[in-house]
Structure 1
Amino acid sequence: MSSTLRVRWTIAPAIAPRPFINCNRCGGVRSYRCSEKFRVNANGKRIDIWLIYRCTVCENSWNFALLERQNRRDIEPCLLAALESNDPVLVRRLAFDTLALRNRVGRIEEFPDVAVRKELLDGRPECATVLALEIRLEGTTPLRLDRLLAGELGISRSRLQAWKQRRRLTVEPDGAKAMRKPLRDRLAVRLDLAEETDCGRVLSAAACR
């Protein structure tokens, strides 16, 4: 029986980033939330498409341009259909494109709220002493690795730091720096719990929702 428990965590941000826009109705800068709806405006063969945002205070709208003066024939039919039907998968992908949004407006608000999907790859919590954790991201998040581990494993960040100092906890890539940085895709965390009295509880928390 393997002494290593291999688990994959897939992290999905729960709240889309919000741009700060000068709201002409409120008379000041406000955060805007994604409405999860597209606006498609056709003028002859040309199409403009926006993702609509709403002021969190007064519901005033702001349009994030996706396509401008685009020839209908140049748009993939399946993409156009998804835009016209407010396809939720496409909405999510575009709403969580932090880089594109920041490039457009400069200042955005990000949220650390995430959903964690846990997948057991190999081993059993009751028989293992080592955790090999793979982290996958379904979008950018400001959530730090140490906060994620502490919350999901039910331990303190100071204990994580102690494990790090004793080399019981390793992270690749970036090592110690990764612990206090926002999560990155394809991080590999290895945790040796052989000397811990609550080894089974921690490993069970790693593998179970």
Structure 2
Amino acid sequence: MSGTLRIHWAITPEIAPRPLINCNRCGGVKAYRCSGKFRVNANGKRIDVWLIYRCVDCDNSWNFGIFERCNRRDIEPVLLQALESNDAGLARRHAFDIVALRKLVGCVEEFPDVAVHKRLLGGASESAVALELQLGLEMPTSLRLDRLLASELGISRSRLQTLAERRLLVVDPDGAKALRKPARQGMTIRIDLAGEPDHEAIICAAGG
């Protein structure tokens, strides 16, 4: 496309998944939120590490196992220090490990809330009549691609679908069907807006 504005969207989930666990204090299944704190228990040369979760209603604790009966020598000193100091980045990475959480508890509550940081890669917004959006995800998200695009570009999901049907919106990989699936790392969305009367407003909203 001529006159294409290329923009990178760095997408950061804002709320970590919450496992749904039977709370023995509340007497029913409750959502548990990550506390951001690790519990490290050393017994001789063996170390157990958990990420502590709290019931959203009564603050009852639940431990998400990170290491179990692990030999101290098998944990790098830098990693052990990060665990013992409750490193926020490390806690966040484990809190967003939806696969591990599901293996332990089965049901997990996910949230689509994200922050989007937009960075210009190339082109000039003044002359642009097309967009190329490159997605970078810090962590996986449950947010559907069409909802992300509609929110950030200020247009309806039905219009996005129409653009896709007219082949004016192309998603790589997976094509138009990707619109109804979660946004993924490495996706590229190309939108031809040459015939759209509000193309300037859409390009501005995209980050141009």
TM-score (norm 1): 0.96
The alpha carbon displacement at 1:16 in A equals: 0.3
Shift of residue 40 of structure 1? 0.5
How far apart, in 2, do the equivalents of 1:7 and 1:171 lie? 15
Root-mean-square deviation (CA, aligned residues, Å) is 1.0
Same amino acid, percent of matched pairs: 66
Show the counterpart of 2:19.
Answer: 19
What is the CA-CA distance between 1:159 and the residue it aligns to? 1.2
SS in 2 for 1:167: coil
CA offset at residue 167 of structure 1?
Answer: 1.1
Question: Who is 1:103 aligned against?
Answer: 103
Per-residue deviation, residues 5-59 of structure 1 (Å, max 9, x unmatched): 0001111111000001111111111110000000011112211100000001100
Q: Hey, what does 1:128 align to over in structure 2? A: 128
Provide the aligned length of Structure 1 versus Structure 2. 207
Q: Which runs of 5+ in 2 are unaligned?
A: none
Determine the C-alpha separation between the residues in 2 that align with 1:126 and 1:54.
50
**Whole-Å Cα distance in 2 between the matches of residues 101 and 142 of structure 1?**
15
Q: Which residue of 1 aligns with 2:176?
A: 176
1:145-199: CA deviation from partner (whole Å, max 9, x where unpaired): 0000000001111111111111111111111110001111111100000011111
Aligned-residue offset at 1:125 = 1.2
Query: How far apart, CA to CA, are the structure 2 residues paired with 1:61 and 1:133?
Result: 42
Aligned ranges 1:25-174 → 2 under 5 Å? 25-174=25-174
Counterpart of 1:152 in structure 2: which amino acid? E
Name the CA distance, whole Å, in 2 between partners of 1:137 and 1:207.
Answer: 17
**Letter of the structure 2 residue corresponding to residue 140 of structure 1:** P
Q: Which amino acid aligns with 1:97?
A: D
Query: Residue type of the partner of 1:58?
Result: C
Provide the C-alpha distance between the structure 1 equivalents of 2:174 and 2:61, rounded to a whole number of angstroms.
Answer: 41
CA distance in 2, matches of 1:127, 1:103: 50
* Aligned-partner residue type, residue 24 of structure 1: N
Regions of 4+ moved over 4 Å: none
Q: Helix, strand or coil: the match of 2:126?
A: helix
Residue matched to 1:10:
10
Tell me the equivalent position of 2:195: 195
TM-score normalised per structure 2: 0.97
Question: Match of 2:157, as an amino acid?
Answer: R
Report the AA paired with residue 59 of structure 2: E
